[in-house]
Amino acid sequence: MSVLGHDARDEPFQIRSKIAVVPQEGGTIGPLTPWDHIYLTLLARGMSRSNARERAEKTIGQLELKQYRNQPADSLSGGLRQRVRVAMAVATDAELIFLDEPTLGLDAVSRRRIWGVLNQIQKEGRSILLTTHYIDEAEILSNEVAVIDHGRKVLSGSPAELLRNVKERVRVDIVGSTFAPEELNSYGRVVRLAERFRVLTDEQRGRELADEAMKRGSDVSLARVSLEDMFVDLVGRDEE
């Protein structure tokens, strides 16, 4: 197996200097500050002081950690600590960054901040291998997606390619349905999600159903099918 042009078995050191990782569910180190974590990790990787300082400053700015820069990590919230851990990897000059569930347990704002930085890394021409259970995250960030089920790759391709595996084009979510089950079934495939009914169908029937639901006073939304619908369809674990 080759990674970044190097044989993984024979040239591990050449590969290691070009990669970085954010492991899943780790912590920060007690009283060390975000600055200590990021700057000293860069120095240990062999960067010069000026380069490490510059990259640490830039990443702290990108991840909006400036006001926490000199606070002990053990006084920060879980979301801020996770941002520090992400910063330790993205601040490096690694060509390939492995991110294992980088936004696990984060609020929506923190997730989007991290997405913004990952997007920036992509623009710099660096590669990211992201492992996530959040399908929307994979859909938004990825050029290539591989679906793993029970440790085996079951499908891969671009998000657009993967969506072609779903027969239906749109989904209509109806909350507090005033429709009889048979009536909904006549519009398309129905999936029950707690108090919500999701109908997967084609565009025209989707619009018809949405119009009808609005007439009947139901809360309704119409959207194109997502990778999450594809994933649930593929691995068959929905609450149908």
Q: Write out the residues near another protein by the rule CB under 8 A.
A: 13, 16-17, 19-21, 23-32, 36, 40-41, 43-46, 72, 88-89, 92, 94, 98
Nearer to another protein by Cβ, of 17 and 218: the residue is 17
The SS3 call for residue 78 is helix
Nearer to another protein by Cβ, of 30 and 236: the residue is 30
Distance, in Å, from the CA atom of 17 to the CA atom of 11, rounded to the nearest integer, reads 11
Give the tokens for residue 83.
């941002």
Q: Give the shortest CB-35-to-another protein separation in angstroms.
A: 10
Q: Give the shortest CB-47-to-another protein separation in angstroms.
A: 10
Categorise residue 236: left if φ over 0, alpha if ψ from -120 to 50, beta otherwise: left
Nearer to another protein by Cβ, of 47 and 141: the residue is 47
Nearer to another protein by Cβ, of 87 and 184: the residue is 87
Q: DSSP characters for 13-71? A: HHHHTTEEEE-TT----TT--HHHHHHHHHHHTT--HHHHHHHHHHHHHHTT-GGGTTS
Nearer to another protein by Cβ, of 17 and 120: the residue is 17
Residue that is written with structure tokens 């398309």 in the block: 188
Residue 87 CB contacts under 8 Å (≥ 6 apart), including other chains: 34, 37, 38, 56, 59, 60, 62, 63, 65
Q: Give the shortest CB-216-to-another protein separation in angstroms.
A: 52
Q: Give the shortest CB-232-to-another protein separation in angstroms.
A: 30
Q: Give the shortest CB-130-to-another protein separation in angstroms.
A: 15
Q: Give the shortest CB-148-to-another protein separation in angstroms.
A: 17
- DSSP β-ladder status, 170-175 and 19-22: unpaired
Nearer to another protein by Cβ, of 51 and 178: the residue is 51
Check if the beta carbon of residue 154 is closer than 8 Å to that of residue 137. Answer: no
Check if the beta carbon of residue 202 is closer than 8 Å to that of residue 152. Answer: no
